Amino acid sequence: MRVLVTGGAGFIGSNFIHYWIQNHPGDQVINFDALTYAGHLESLKDLEGNPSYEFIKGDVTDAEAVKSAMDGVDIIVHFAAESHVDRSIIDPTLFIRTNTLGTAVLLKAALDKKVKRFHHVSTDEVYGELGPNDPPFNPQTPYSPRTPYAASKAGADYLVRAYFETYGLPVTITNCANNFGPYHDPEKLIPRFITNLLKGEKVPLMGKGENIREWLYVEDHAAAVDLVIQKGQIGETYLVSGEEKTNLEVTKKILKILKLDESMIEFIENRLGHDFRYANDGSKTKALGWSAKHSFEEWLEKTVDWYKKNEWWWKPLKAGRPNIDRSAQKSYRE
């Protein structure tokens, strides 16, 4: 089996490749990635020379490169995306280009090449936000994206569904909770806070830290995608759930692990369109036989330990990175 993983040098994509090679010996995995600022081949250094793994540098919006990479491919697992919400507020068109147009290019090539499965990895952010007592999102929840990132992913989801309905392309979709784990780019909340604190710097917590997210260890996400590919119904959407925590709770847990106090928190203004809460009804995915194997408490501690031991990976990434928090707070209304 030949499996093409787009965005395989990113956080979730690289972890997925490690998972797939370990759990599907004999399969050939092709990593197709443009290597933007968020793509790190260092995350796959241990696979160099592995006959089951191949890397192709390419952009998902490049039709010829996509077509070439898809030769002989049986399954496409589409992770490639611009995913940092703050960046989408600063430059929405980049997100539309990669996330929406890029998905369209991949879908056309997949149809032309007659792939056996196109699995699209999406986000719970396409559904908008929840109030504190609202029931979790489910596959029938109407889309209500509130940021350019979420809108670009919603557009991609609709295209995937359209290719199933119009052309019969065999697709599945997963919309997932926030992931955490190793090889997570240090611009995102958990790795940013860990690495800031390891450097002796304060952590920038938006608002009062009251916003709520579900958190899922990245390997559990990989297992859910694998199961949906193996057992999911063609044309269907599956939500992957995690454990609900406020951002303040997450921050305090990281501080506790590192034996630091709350004086290391710097409260900053909320970004524009900062959704209050996300939560997923994962019962449809669980009905296939999936459940999370890694608890948030234990694996957050293991994640902190990973960043302690792998400064070689994250320190170069943090060097020279601009502070984008303030730019994401600027509004036309000001």
- Catalytic residues, which ones? 124-125, 149
Contact status, residue 207 vs residue 274, Cβ threshold 8 Å: yes
Cα(258)–Cα(31) distance, integer angstroms: 35
Number of Cβ within a 10 Å radius of residue 166: 9
Residues 174, 78: Cα–Cα separation, whole Å: 10
* Cβ neighbours for 302, distance < 8 A, ≥ 6 positions apart: none
Q: How far apart are CA 63 and CA 105, in angstroms?
A: 6
Residue 236: phi, psi to the nearest 5?
-100, 160
What is the side-by-side strand order in the sheet with 117-123? 53-57, 28-33, 2-6, 75-78, 117-123, 171-176, 237-240
Positive or negative: CA dihedral 202, 327, 151, 41: negative
Contact 38/13 with Cβ under 8 angstroms?
Answer: no
Sheet holding 243-246, edge to edge: 178-180, 212-217, 243-246
Distance CA 283, CA 311 (A): 38
Closest among 12, 2, 52, 51 to 33, alpha carbons compared: 12
Give the whole-angstrom CA distance, residue 142 versus residue 287.
22
For 22, other C-beta atoms within 10 Å of its C-beta total 10
The number of beta carbons lying within 10 Å of the beta carbon of residue 67 is: 15
CA distance 272 to 266: 18
